[in-house]
Amino acid sequence: MLYFVGLGLSDHEDISLKGLKVLKSVDFIYAEFFTSKLFGTNIKLIEDLIAKDIIVLSRAEVEEENIFLNKAKKYDVAIVTGGDPLIATTHTNFIVEAKKYGIETEVIHSSSILSAGCGISGLQPYKFGKVTSIPFPDKNFFPHSPYLTIEENFKNSAHTLVLLDIQADKNRFMTVNQGLEYILKVRDDLLDQGRKDFLINEETLAIGIAHVGSKDLKLKAGKISDLIDFDFGEPLHCIALPSKLHIVEAEYLMAIAGADETILTDF
């Protein structure tokens, strides 16, 4: 049997009772933290909670060596990860592979940034469009697709949740500030290419979100130019970019996220 157990968003206390029961019952527990990471806890605290050792796998061990899949042919095995276990497409592939091997699977869901990020932003979840992710740029790698996705959502009067790159194996975690800089840099690239019409600029309303699920939540709404130097603290971060606001959304952003009254100009 192979279990996929989500640990939630923040610390070891986020795990569900069902997940805790499973982890206490299985023969082997593996963890991967390159698709997500919990900053409010550590492996030792989780091991103390379940009274068992956890084997932390590298990306290569997870994606190339199939260690836990092979072990699950004979034993009850759990693979744990931050957030919800099926948000990473890597894990859905593992369920398919397990099916090929005749291994039974069960998923123990938990909280995910896809729901919590939208919810804590104060924006109505059903008004969100396509989610996008901003990667760390590299030599000959600076995709414009995140910016274009945001623009397409704006055209459809839809909000955008922007996930920021996590490279846990390299201890690199993109900040709200870096994500906003990326968005403006794409806008500048398109301007250099001769494009004239833009829906996103320094005056665009944005919401910076950090430490979702913890007592140290940081939530700040304002113009991109105002947020780009704001200190959101340690990772993990994400961004929400609102399209046309409902009055209830605007009131939340002013009362809870520190937005000023200029966001009411559309009403």
Q: Are residue 202 and residue 248 in the same domain, yes or no?
A: yes
CB 78 within 8 A of CB 21: no
User: Which of 84, 108, 132 is the last residue in one of the domains?
Assistant: 108
Q: How far is CA 266 from the centre of its chain?
A: 30
Residue with tokens 């490279």: 167
101, 202: one domain: no
Provide the pLDDT for residue 223: 96
CATH number of domain containing 159: 3.30.950.10
Asked whether residue 18 falls in the same domain as residue 53, the answer is yes
Residue 266: per-residue pLDDT = 61
pLDDT in tens, 75-90: 999 999 888 998 877 7
73, 75, 164 from 102: Cα distances, Å: 8, 13, 36
> Among 108, 129, 145, where does a domain finish?
108
What pLDDT, on the 0 to 100 scale, is given for residue 110?
A: 92
Query: What is the pTM for the complete model shown?
Result: 0.91
Are 101 and 118 found together in one domain? no
User: Cα dist. 43→9, 36, 63, 170, 187 in Å?
Assistant: 15, 14, 21, 18, 41
DSSP at 122: T
pLDDT given at position 267: 53
Same domain, 72 and 123: no
Q: Which residues of 123-136 are buried (b: 16+ CB within 10 A; e: fewer)?
A: bbeebbbebbbbbb
Rounded to 10 degrees, what is the CA torsion of 11, 13, 15, 18? 170
User: What integer pLDDT is reported at residue 32 of this predicted model?
Assistant: 84
Two tokens at 207? 């919401």
The rounded distance, in Å, linking the Cα atoms of 124 and 118 is 7
CB 125 within 8 A of CB 98: no
Tokens encoding 232? 């959101």
Supply the range of the domain harboring residue 69: 2-108
Looking at the structure, tell me whether residues 171 and 88 fall in a common domain: no
How high is the pLDDT of residue 39? 79
Which one-letter DSSP state was computed for residue 208? Answer: E
User: 143 and 252 share a domain?
Assistant: yes
Q: Given this model, what pLDDT does residue 261 score?
A: 87
Secondary element (H or E) of residue 5: strand 2-6
Which domain-ending residue is among 108, 133, 168? 108
Do 117 and 191 reside in the same domain of the chain?
Answer: yes
Do 104 and 118 share a domain, yes or no?
A: no
- Could you give the number of structural domains in the chain? 2
Which amino acid type is present at position 119?
Answer: G
What pLDDT tens digit does each residue of the chain (267 aa) get? 999 999 998 888 899 999 999 999 999 999 987 767 777 778 899 999 999 999 988 877 877 777 888 899 999 999 998 889 988 777 888 899 999 999 999 999 999 999 999 999 999 999 999 999 999 999 889 999 999 999 999 999 999 999 999 887 788 999 999 999 999 999 999 999 988 888 899 999 999 999 999 999 999 999 999 999 999 999 999 999 999 999 999 999 999 999 998 887 665
- CATH number of the domain bearing residue 104: 3.40.1010.10
Is residue 158 located within the same domain as residue 242? yes
Q: Give yes or no: residues 120 and 168 share one domain.
A: yes
DSSP 3-state percent helix, strand, coil across the chain (nearest 5): 40, 20, 40
Q: What is the pLDDT of residue 250?
A: 96
76 and 146 fall within a common domain: no
